[in-house]
Every structure is written in structure tokens, then in C-alpha cells.
Chains A and B, each alone.
Chain A
Amino acid sequence: MATKTSKQNTVKASQIFGDYLIMLIAPCIVSVMYYGSRAAAVIAVSVLSAVFCDFAASFLLKKRFLLRDTSNIFIGTAIAVMMPAGVPLYVPAIASAAGVLTAKIPFGSSLRAPFVPAAAGFAIASVCFKEQVFDYSLNTEDKLFGAKSLASLLSEGGAIHINIANVFDIVSGNIAGPMGTGCGMLMAVCCCYLFIRRRSALLATAGFVAACVIYAVLFPRVNSSALTSIVLELSAGSLLFGAVFLVTDHSTLPKGGITKVIYGAVCGIICMAMRTVGTYEETVCFAVLMANGFSPVLEAALNALPSFGKTKNKGAAEK
């Protein structure tokens, strides 16, 4: 039985990022639908930058450049859809380059990287170009809250009252914010896709979302009901996108089902805590990077417990 299971679990490396790219088609379409050709330009520049940097680094390191390695396209696209549509084009280009050059190339490939390259690239861009990365003023005349993103409204506190119409705008991503990550409905569809593909990484997503929901109930940032707080927190920024695309990164995810859930929960708590006390409105990338650092420690600590004995040897063997 064990042999059969391990045979089933063996998946080509390209299939991992192939699944991500299939899921990323939807956010890209939403981006273009909301922001037009400008969104397409941002995505194209970001992807080209990632591919070019990987090609250039491969050439300099005398390493064979693999066209089938689609992780570059994933990195570029993921970073692009987390950006605002009005961002100067050099910002996504630099962010993708930073993600590839600092978090992928030094470690050989995306499957060996100890940090999620897309999260690293976006985090570097957030720190270096804070004004540009969080400027959501393009095409926001007909948006729900104008040029103010949901995350910035939450950080200001106060009362936000929403009705059915508002909720649809919020969960469909038709508000100022990252151009392709605000659509909660699409993220739910992506989760379904992962479930159909039987990826256990979805357990980390579940832990992440559960932690965020509990945190939103316990420490609401708006003077509204708990349900409103949950909806707003989950819809703000790239939180759900990060839960589906970044937290589930294969190379940084711990082994073992319960360990994955706890890892996701830790990541969610860090994300929400940074939203509450931090200065950046978009914290999911920082949280993912911090959780990546904790991942081996967390796995080792949990495996030391008797009830985690099964995953202990497996994790040790793989590492």
C-alpha cells in the first residue's frame, strides 16, 4: 500500500507550476477586465523580467536554461497580479528580478528554495518602492471606496458598513487594491481546483484562512459585526491569494497533514498580527517569508511530539 501511495504522489516538477499557472489565468483575466491593457502590460513586463533574469543568470553560471521550468512565469505573474495597475513598469520588473535572483537562482531551482520567490520579490518591492506599490489610484472612479484600498480602510479603523451590493463588489475584487488578487470568489475556485488535484497543500490554506478568521473575530479592526470583520479582512489585499498561491509552495511546506495545518495557521497569525501592528497594509508576503524561516523549526518541534512520530522519520528522510 505504501509503495502504491508513493507512486501516486510522484509528480513531475513542471506539473506543480503548471497547476499554479492554470489557476493564475483567472486572476490575469480579472486584472485585464478591471484595468484594461495597463494590467496586461504589468503582467507582461513582470513575466519577461523573471524569464530574462533566469536566462541571464543561467548563462552567467553556465547552467542550462530550461524552457520547461515554468516557475519563472509563475513568479512573474504572481508578483504582477499583486501589484496595483498603475504601478510604474520598472517596479514589477525589479520585483520579479529580485524574486528570481535572490530566492531562486542561489538555491538551484524553485523546488529547492527555502523561501517563496514570489513572496520575496514582492516583499523587496514593498520595502524599496512603498509609495508606488501601494498607490491604487488608477481607474478607481467607479470603485466602491474610491482610491482607498480595503486594507488601508481597515488600518484606519472606524466603522465600515456593508450591504449585499457592497459585499458582491468586495468579494469580486471590484475595489481599489491589487489588480488581480482581490477576487475572493476566484480564490475559492482555485481552492476547488487544488482539491480536485488532490493536493494536500490545501491543508495549509485551510489552516491559514481559519487562523485569519479567528483573529478577525477576536481582534476586529472595524466597529462592525464579527461577520463584517471576517469578510473585510479576508477580502483585503492579497490575503486569499497568498493563502492559495504562496502558503502552498511545495518547497517550503512542511510534511505531514497536521503540520501543514499548523504551519498555515502560524502564517495566518503572523499575517494578521502584522496587519494590526505593522506599517504595511500588504503583509501576506512578509508573513509567508517569516513562516518559511520557521517551517523547519516548526516541523522539527512537532515531530518531537510522540503523536507526530509518523511524520518524523519521513520528514527527516526527505531533508
Chain B
Amino acid sequence: MSNNISFKDVFIKGAVIYNPVLIQLVGLCPVVAASTTLARAAMLSAVLCIELIVTCVISSAFLKKIPRWVRVPLYIIIGAAIICPLLWYVETQTLLNLSLGMKIFVPLIAVNSMTAVHCEQFSVKNSVKLSLYDAAAAGIGASFIFIIVGAVRELLGYSTVGGIAVNLPITFKGMALPFGCLILLGFLAAGLKAFVARVYPEDSENGEPEIKPVTQASEDYSQEATEVELFDEFWTESVEEEKPDIPVPEAPSAEKDEPKFSTAEEIDELLKSLGIDIDIKGDKQ
């Protein structure tokens, strides 16, 4: 890959088109488990960005010539080596209680799949500069989603944003639970895919399955005759077993330019012309 690639190009690809959380679906565990409030999501984002950038840069600089089976565990070790002092510093050296009861979840970032994916697929194959760009783009893209999810979950689940009461008339306790986050992520992923399909159509078509337009789907539905299994089918089960639905393997189809024979005489003539004397019709007996 050329080093002339700008940060903008890498950012658009890494943060938007191939957003690690919504498109690549990596790093879901921390966002589902821990991003229940805006403060938690912000801290998670900061830790993730630092860990991802440092690990990717180190991987790109030093791990290119190391065998793959050694590299992957090294990503985790490097991540843990970054997270542990960072968490220790946050908990002991700062007056702010930033840990927010996330002692279980923050170490998950050290071993999450996002780091391994970006290190293995990009960092060890590219320069340090591009690796830094990619890690920053992925980190920013993931952090943006973390913060949106955290803010929405806090707003709908607790009627607060950043600890400030909003006093919504209805609160949805389910949003604080993992299933609420997964539903929210589903809608965000659909929105991002629609955005990418509209703004970057050439990228959305690459590697993505073709999505049937919803208008077409609705037209299908309007004329749809659905197959519903009735009891008749089970009463005639024995009959169907005699004629199984197993597709019979088709005989190798003859090429279009090959001769086709309909009668035994024609086959006999062809064989004679080839010097093969086989009695097809059994006349010689």
C-alpha cells in the first residue's frame, strides 16, 4: 500500500465504511456490557483509543517478522501491558473516580477482537504511519459509537444525560440491559449502511450482499402466495417418500456444439465411423 494515502482516506474507510463496531462487529462485548451511561462510554472510548493506537503502532514497528502464531498472543500481552498501568493510574493517581465500577470490563478491552483484527490485518502489513492512521480511525469510529450508545442508553434507561436529569415522562429500563443495546446497535448499523450506500456507493457494493430495495420487497409481499403446510401433506407423507424431493443429480449436459442423437441407428453410425463395432440394437445376436 502506498504511503501517499492521506489520513482522510484511511479515516473514511476505517471509521465510517468499515466501522469496527457496526460493520465489522468487533469489540461488541465492552459496548454491550459497559456503555450504559455516557460517562462510562467516554472512559471506555478513551481507554480503547489509547490501547488500540499503541498496540497497532508497536505491532507495525516490531512484529512484522515474527511468526503469526506468536504475534497474536503478543497483541494481548501488549494490550494488557498498556491497560494495567493505565487503570492503576486512573484509580490511584487521579482524584476523579473514573473507574465507575468498570474493573471487570476495562480489561476486556485488552483482549478484545478489535485490537487483534486491526493489528493482524493492517498493522503488520503496512508502515507505522499508516498503521497509526488506521488505529486512530478505528478508535475514533468505535468511540463515536460507544458515546452515542452510552448517551442514548442513559437517556432512555435512566432519564439522564451525563448525570444531568432530563426527566423524560417514560423511562425504558430495558435500554440499560444488553438486549436494549443490541437493538440500538442494530438500528445504528442499518443507518450507517444506508448512509454508506448513499454517500459511498462504490464501497458499499464491494463485499456486501446486494440488498433488495424495500419498495420491491413490498411489491413482492402484495402478490405473495405463501406456502403453508397443511395436514394433507402429512397424510400423504408415504406417497412423498416414494418420490423424494432429493434433487436427482443431472447427467453431464452435452455441449451445444456436440452432436445429439435421438435414435440408436444414429449412434451406431457414429460408432462405426469411429471404428468401434458395438451392437447397440442387438441385431447381431
Contact = CB atoms under 8 A, between A and B. Distances in A.
B221 A106 contact: no
A17 to B, nearest CB: 11
A66 B144 CA distance: 37
Interface string B73-110: 00000000000000000000000000000000000000
Residue of A6, A10, A127 contacting most chain B CB atoms (<10 Å): A127
A319 interface: no
Nearest to A313: B245
A318 B186 CA distance: 26
Interface residues of B, number: 39
A250 interface: yes
Interface in B157-184: 170, 172-175, 177, 179, 183
Contacts of B244: 309-310, 313
Contacts of B253: none
A124 B179 CA distance: 9
Contacts of A1: 236, 239-240, 243
A275 interface: no
Contacts of B229: 9, 199-201, 255
Contacts of B212: 108
Interface in A102-138: 102, 106, 108-109, 111, 124, 127-130
Contact of A61 (B183, B214, B233, B237): B214
A254 B222 CA distance: 24
B241 interface: yes
Contact of A111 (B190, B226, B232): B226
Given A90-B170, A128-B172, A69 B230 contact: no
Contacts of B186: 102, 106
A69 B173 contact: no
Nearest to A101: B187
Given A2-B243, A9-B233, A66 B221 contact: yes
B231 interface: yes
B228 A63 contact: no
B227 A127 contact: no
Given A1-B239, A68-B222, A198-B232, A9 B214 contact: no
Residue of A6, A64, A66, A111 contacting most chain B CB atoms (<10 Å): A64
Contacts of B258: none
B285 interface: no
Contact of A313 (B172, B190, B226, B246): B246
A90 B170 CA distance: 9
B222 A257 contact: no
A8 B229 CA distance: 9
A221 to B, nearest CB: 27
A22 interface: no
B225 A64 contact: no
A62 B216 CA distance: 11
B56 to A, nearest CB: 34
Contacts of A127: 173-174, 177, 179
B241 A310 contact: yes
A163 interface: no
B245 A62 contact: no
A187 to B, nearest CB: 19
Residue of B170, B175, B229 contacting most chain A CB atoms (<10 Å): B229
B222 A108 contact: no
B70 interface: no
Nearest to A314: B245
Contacts of A13: 221, 224-226
B215 interface: yes
A309 B226 contact: no
A313 B247 contact: yes
Contact of A10 (B174, B175, B227): B227
Given A5-B240, A9-B233, 14 more contacts: A9-B230, A10-B227, A10-B228, A11-B226, A61-B214, A63-B214, A63-B217, A102-B186, A106-B190, A109-B217, A198-B231, A314-B245, A317-B245, A318-B227
16 contacts: A1-B236, A8-B230, A10-B228, A13-B226, A16-B226, A61-B214, A66-B218, A69-B221, A102-B186, A109-B218, A130-B173, A200-B233, A201-B229, A257-B234, A310-B237, A314-B245
The 8 A-B residue pairs whose C-beta atoms are closest, nearest first, are A127-B174, A128-B174, A198-B230, A200-B229, A11-B228, A128-B172, A198-B231, A108-B217
